[in-house]
Amino acid sequence: MNFNESEERVALRKVTAELGRKYGHEYYIKQARTGGKTNELWDEAGRLGYLGVSVPEEYGGGGAGIGDLAAVCEELAAVGTPLLLMVVSPAICATVVARFGTDEQKKRWLPGFADGSVRMSFAITEPDAGSNSHRITTTAKRDGEDWVLSGRKVYISGVDEADAVLVVSRTEDAKTGKLKPALFIVPTDTPGFEYRQIEMDIVSADKQFGLFLDDVRLPSDALVGSEDAAIAQLFAGLNPERIMGASFSLGIARYALDKGVAYAKERQVWGTPIGAHQGLAHPLAQVKIEVELAKLMTQKAAALYDSGDDFGAGEAANMAKYAAAEAAIHAVDQSVQTHGGNGLASEYGLGTLLSAVRLGRIAPVSREMVLNFVGQHSLGLPKSY
């Protein structure tokens, strides 16, 4: 058992952080407040190969694992330039296409994922289904060689930046008549596909959207992989999503903690740095412990996933996502408290994170559903829902 990251990943973390600092938190907040995008940062990260580290080498990627992609996500967030679409496009969508896509789909999409020139959103959540994916009502029906897709989705990230959306729908089993999940790649310019922005109080460069699919006609090759493998395909993408979500929260937690510690060292009251007082030192130390524990679980989840242990990765990824979200909330809250009134001043770059980190408790899976999973699958307790 080795708790030291490889030299390659350590180097990847270093150059990624340097890239993020080149743009800085001020760049990110300016784009977020003005409705702008982080295209310059995304495009440069893509050209340098950071977004495609986990794409297979034969398609122009780095051929590494989800752990390396998670490191990129964490380091960008840790310097104040978080890219939420990384959780979706290269992690979920590229992984699903790489593992289950046809040869044609891989050739069509993976090189773009590798260099960042392709962005793809992921649509699973529905207004009336919530956390219960078994109640998804978006359906796909055969019409000759084509598919016709109808339904609604909600809280879908980055659709305005995406070339296509990987939509989770359901098809009818010809033998049983029951509906089963299926994944379709839907280009955002397809007739019948519409999206509308959902106004949010979170200051973020990545926006949320509601999708409306009104008899969207798709060619037969829009279906990803086999009709009969959709459950496996779906969870192949959801485990990386949770790992990346954990890394996203970890990065923000590190950013907030670093700000709090720096201020506690510099700010003096009565001739003494405020960090010398245990009332501030101990809560910051607690946050540090929480961050390190969450990081270990995230690395474990990535290692299990990259080894092919999907079930083990599922348990660890859920735990990592839970732990990282809690660490981020505590880190931001304590950093704001350490700054006092300055914690809510725009120039210190913390106030906007108060609501943003709450997202980690809700998405991509709620804290309560993680606890349900651990209770049922890890502890063997009766199913509660």
- Conformation bin of residue 41: beta by default, left when phi > 0, alpha when psi is -120 to 50: alpha
Query: For residue range 177-210, what is the model confidence (pLDDT) as tens digits?
Result: 567 789 999 999 999 999 999 999 999 999 999 9
> Exposed, middle or buried: residue 210 (CB in 10 Å: 0-12, 13-18, 19+)?
middle
Q: Rounded to whole angstroms, how far apart are CA atoms 39 and 18?
A: 17
CB count within 10 Å of CB 195 equals: 20
**So what's the pLDDT on residue 233?**
76
Query: For residue range 132-155, what is the model confidence (pLDDT) as tens digits?
Result: 766 788 999 999 999 999 999 999
**So what's the pLDDT on residue 244?**
98
CB count within 10 Å of CB 48 equals: 14
Is pTM, for the whole model, over 0.85?
yes
More confident residue, 231 or 322: 322
3-state secondary structure of 173: coil
Report the Cα 136 to chain-centroid distance in Å: 21
Tell me the mean pLDDT in the region 261-282: 97
Torsions phi, psi for 319 (to 5 deg): -65, -40
Instruction: Please give the structure tokens belonging to residue 251.
Output: 């990065």
